[in-house]
Structure 1
Amino acid sequence: MADYGKLKYLSGFGNEFASEDPRCPNALPKGQNNPQKCAYGLYAEQLSGTAFTAPRVHNKRTWLYRIRPSVLHGKFKPLHQGNLSHNWDEWHPDPNQMRWHPFALPDPSLGRVDFVEGMNTVCGAGDCRSRNGIAVHVFTCNASMGDKCFYNSDGDFLIVPQKGTLMITTEFGRMSVAPNEICVIQQGMRFSVEISEASRGYVLEVFNGHFTLPDLGPIGANGLANPRDFLTPSAWYEDRSCEYTVVSKYQGKLFYTQQEHSPFDVAAWHGNYCPYKYDLDNFMVINAVAFDHADPSIFTVLTCQSNKPGVAVADFVIFPPRWSVQEHTFRPPYYHRNCMSEFMGLIKGKYEAKEEGFQAGGATLHSMMTPHGPDAACFEGASNAELKPQRVADGTMAFMFESSFSMAITKWGGLTCQKVDEKYKECWEPLQKHFKSS
């Protein structure tokens, strides 16, 4: 387990990084990527995350130096889908404000459920075949994956653990990801998840491009998520013969194959296409210090941009502990309607605008142009509170997957999970008319 902590700084996006397992010094070739014979009898293999001809500033690829090439596997066969779905027409469109109680952990009396088996799609939009869209999943698992790994041919995963630490082995090395941390496993990267207790969390899948840091504009050179706080694994390999299962998500379906060795046999790698993690406590909060609100985009950790300037396929936004000091201002989030879809989750604590009802491990979805905002108790309390500097959201971490896509709910999200809060809309019913004409 000690190896899970051996991480190194991912000091910027787009830069070149290199790592080799200390058991194989000088495994990285000098001066070229693909020598006639690699050191230690390794195979050179490139993993490309963009088209070969993408502009250099956007080009993503990594060279892996491994004991066996990844092509050594059997034939892929269909695998049971479970509750993983990209069928956005299986449930009726619903513009209502949606809230889910905490998603249930697997019942151990019914058997073992690992990360892949416990992935359930809540909502999404678009088409993974044309590489345009997103999906939002929750995972609930009570077992490690063992001799099984998973990779996504359709896009990138942004994983947000809510309960239980995930010990993730990748081709690039190993990392632990605890609640209040996130990790990104990019398209095509094989990984396996080990757990020590029943675990739950959220997954944002993007079919377009990759996540990047948002531009800072007038904020300047510093603030929000700083590049130096992102970590990527150090090279670590295992040379192990075994019956190993490789699961692929391809065109929204699951397939599996078997091979006679561990896929985590990479002794060294270099490139700019790798998995990474980030501790949300490192986010440098920017906020209003005079009056009114800055837009919630100031809380963006990572963004996946569309082809339209300034319009995101998806943003990952957090609402961390911070000071609130605005004068003459209703301080909680204001009532609003949005041309974006907003899926929110709660990692811990109580969200300031809805301290009752919205629970850790649950979620909300506010669809395009559906009005939403603080509940009645929050409105009355904040409208009459003394406006002195105060801490907000201590002990709390809420987040939002915001997207320019109009997301549809799956049948699992709308019915099968049995966690829809049918009384959600009641939180606004006590709002009163305060208007006085004179």
Structure 2
Amino acid sequence: MPYYRSVGSVPPKRHTQHRDPEGRLYYEELMGEEGFSSDSSLLYHRGVPSGIVDSQVWELPDQSRTPNHPLKPRHLTLHTLFPDPGDGDGACPVEGRRLVLGNNDVRIGYVVTGTAPSPYYRNAIGDECVYVESGSGVVESVFGVVPYRTQDYVVVPRATTHRWVPAEPSRLYAIEANSHIAPPKRYLSRFGQLLEHAPYCERDLHGPGETFVVATGSDDDPRDVEVLVKHRVGGQVVGTRMTYDTHPFDVVGWDGCLYPYTFNLDDYMPITGKVHQPPPVHQVFEGWNFVICNFLPRKVDYHPLSIPVPYYHSNVDSDEIMFYVGGDYEARKGSGIGLGSISVHPGGYAHGPQPSAIEASLGAEKFEETAVMIDTFQPLDLGEAGIAAEDPAYAWTWSGRHTGETDTGKHGDDGGPAVFSNS
């Protein structure tokens, strides 16, 4: 995180005695990145934070991956993966996530929740950035409570014990890194402050305002609390169920620059230009070997001869993953793209608009679409959910000729090429 926060009760000097009103010593925990050499926070617990009483295997959902081979663009319909949650029925926000795409740097999952809280959970592999497609609730953590709402990014640092408590069914797009996730370095001063040219600032980042209150000895302070831990063994993603002697949310205070926070798309200020702007101007976060961008409603190019839709482009160094979450996609009629769709445009393949869409875009003053994009710098494989959600006709829509597998009719079949104003 680029700035310091202090919440709850902390002593005047770090690594000094801090006691409760009865004189009992609180237990200080340093949660830090890069071996004491990067951002950290100090937390003060009532119980011993390392006190576990059991450790068992947690069998994760299917984590298998299938290469994108033979190479082709793909269209994945995420809204077909889960039934409508109705009056609260739905999947667990953590255990119900299905793997859509992944490589050794990042995994993309999707889940439609009910209103039941998730188990206590910790991702020890990397930071998580969960985009809330729809819904609201809170994320409880060792740092306190962070509310979430539609169009929020919820950024949870690696190894933060937390749980999701939906107030209503929520559609969650989970980006799980094998690294840390942070604002792009070009947005930051050498001291970590967000600069004037950045499309958002510290005021837009919302962390916990108070600690999670657990009354000692009450029903809210149980012993033997299970925490699901995601970690790696031999390069494989695995899970462990750790049982703790005391409640993990027994923190009375903390301070530092590492904590979970939310950032809402409404607070992102799109950067526009006289001619079509490339995707890096839409970047919001970065991790190791991937970036996250968002394309939002905005005014478009104002050169008198500008072409608002993108030029054809080859992703020679990256796979481009676009998740369509809002707006009107009439321009993509015939491709099947709509709300809840993911387009996968892999490295080594050129994509862009249909010729008729180029002419049709001339004179446009504003785009209304909303999308979240992930660019990875290593090829992405398909997870089991990606395979289950694939529209097999998509790859052939630019040519207007269906080759190989054909669509079953769920998206129509008028052969029109695909175009999206932002991709």
Shorter-chain TM-score bucket reads 0.7 to 0.9
Secondary structure of the corresponding residue to residue 103 of structure 2: strand
Superposed, 1:106-121 pairs within 5 Å as 106=83, 113-121=91-99
The match for 2:421 is none
**Structure 1 residue 216: deviation in Å?**
4.4
The match for 1:266 is 251
Query: For the residues of structure 2 that align with 1:47 and 1:350, how far apart are their CA atoms?
Result: 44
Secondary structure of the corresponding residue to residue 322 of structure 2: strand
Cα displacement string for residues 8-64 of structure 1 (whole angstroms, at most 9, x for unaligned residues): xxxxx43322111xxxxxx2100x222234344322111112212x2xxxx111100
Cα displacement string for residues 276-307 of structure 1 (whole angstroms, at most 9, x for unaligned residues): 11111111111112xx3221100001122x5x
Q: Is the 8 A contact 1:150 1:190 kept in 2?
A: yes
Q: Is the 8 A contact 1:157 1:186 kept in 2?
A: yes
Q: Is the 8 A contact 2:157 2:180 kept in 1?
A: no
Q: Is the 8 A contact 2:144 2:209 kept in 1?
A: yes
**Structure 1 residue 183: deviation in Å?**
1.2
Query: For the residues of structure 2 that align with 1:193 and 1:331, how far apart are their CA atoms?
Result: 40
**Structure 1 residue 176: deviation in Å?**
1.8
The match for 2:409 is none
The match for 2:309 is 332
**TM-score (ref. length: structure 1):** 0.79
Larger deviation: 159-168 or 256-265? Answer: 256-265
The match for 1:161 is 132
Cα displacement string for residues 74-95 of structure 1 (whole angstroms, at most 9, x for unaligned residues): 2221112113x2x44x556342
1:199 corresponds to 2:170: yes
1:151/1:346 Cα in 2 relative to 1: closer, same or farther (>3 Å)? same
The match for 1:10 is none
Q: Percent identity?
A: 19
Secondary structure of the corresponding residue to residue 356 of structure 2: helix
**Structure 1 residue 67: deviation in Å?**
1.8
Query: For the residues of structure 1 that align with 2:184 and 2:116, how far apart are their CA atoms?
Result: 31
1:38/1:212 Cα in 2 relative to 1: closer, same or farther (>3 Å)? farther
Q: Is the 8 A contact 1:223 1:286 kept in 2?
A: no
The match for 2:404 is none
1:267/1:353 Cα in 2 relative to 1: closer, same or farther (>3 Å)? farther
- CA RMSD, 1 decimal: 2.6
Q: Is the 8 A contact 1:285 1:322 kept in 2?
A: yes
The match for 2:7 is 19
1:248 corresponds to 2:232: no
**Structure 1 residue 124: deviation in Å?**
1.7
1:187 corresponds to 2:158: yes
Q: Is the 8 A contact 2:306 2:362 kept in 1?
A: no
Query: For the residues of structure 2 that align with 1:177 and 1:257, how far apart are their CA atoms?
Result: 27
Q: State the one-letter code of the partner of 1:141.
A: T
1:350/1:49 Cα in 2 relative to 1: closer, same or farther (>3 Å)? farther
Q: Is the 8 A contact 1:43 1:69 kept in 2?
A: yes
Query: For the residues of structure 2 that align with 1:230 and 1:275, how far apart are their CA atoms?
Result: 10
**Structure 1 residue 335: deviation in Å?**
1.6
Larger deviation: 223-232 or 345-354? Answer: 345-354
The match for 1:310 is none
The match for 1:410 is 383
Larger deviation: 61-70 or 349-358? Answer: 349-358
Secondary structure of the corresponding residue to residue 280 of structure 2: helix
**Structure 1 residue 386: deviation in Å?**
4.8
**Structure 1 residue 204: deviation in Å?**
1.4
The match for 2:206 is 231
Q: Is the 8 A contact 2:15 2:28 kept in 1?
A: yes
Query: For the residues of structure 1 that align with 2:377 and 2:322, how far apart are their CA atoms?
Result: 15
1:247/1:220 Cα in 2 relative to 1: closer, same or farther (>3 Å)? closer
1:107/1:222 Cα in 2 relative to 1: closer, same or farther (>3 Å)? closer
The match for 1:24 is none
Secondary structure of the corresponding residue to residue 380 of structure 1: helix
**Structure 1 residue 214: deviation in Å?**
4.1
Cα displacement string for residues 105-126 of structure 1 (whole angstroms, at most 9, x for unaligned residues): 25769x7631112111112222
The match for 1:5 is none
1:141 corresponds to 2:113: yes
Q: Is the 8 A contact 2:321 2:345 kept in 1?
A: yes
The match for 1:170 is 141
Q: State the one-letter code of the partner of 1:229.
A: D
1:43 is aligned, of 27, 32, 45, to 27
**Structure 1 residue 413: deviation in Å?**
1.9
Secondary structure of the corresponding residue to residue 225 of structure 2: strand
Q: Is the 8 A contact 2:7 2:211 kept in 1?
A: no
**Structure 1 residue 72: deviation in Å?**
2.2
The match for 1:76 is 55
Secondary structure of the corresponding residue to residue 36 of structure 1: coil
Cα displacement string for residues 352-390 of structure 1 (whole angstroms, at most 9, x for unaligned residues): 86366222223121111222222x3xx4144145525x2
**TM-score (ref. length: structure 2):** 0.82
**Structure 1 residue 260: deviation in Å?**
5.2
1:172/1:94 Cα in 2 relative to 1: closer, same or farther (>3 Å)? farther
1:428 corresponds to 2:402: no
Q: State the one-letter code of the partner of 1:158.
A: C
The match for 2:412 is none
Q: Is the 8 A contact 1:336 1:371 kept in 2?
A: yes
Secondary structure of the corresponding residue to residue 75 of structure 1: strand
Query: For the residues of structure 2 that align with 1:37 and 1:96, how far apart are their CA atoms?
Result: 59
Q: Can you give the 5+ residue segments of structure 1 that lack an aligned partner in the other structure? A: 1-12, 21-26, 127-132, 307-312, 433-438
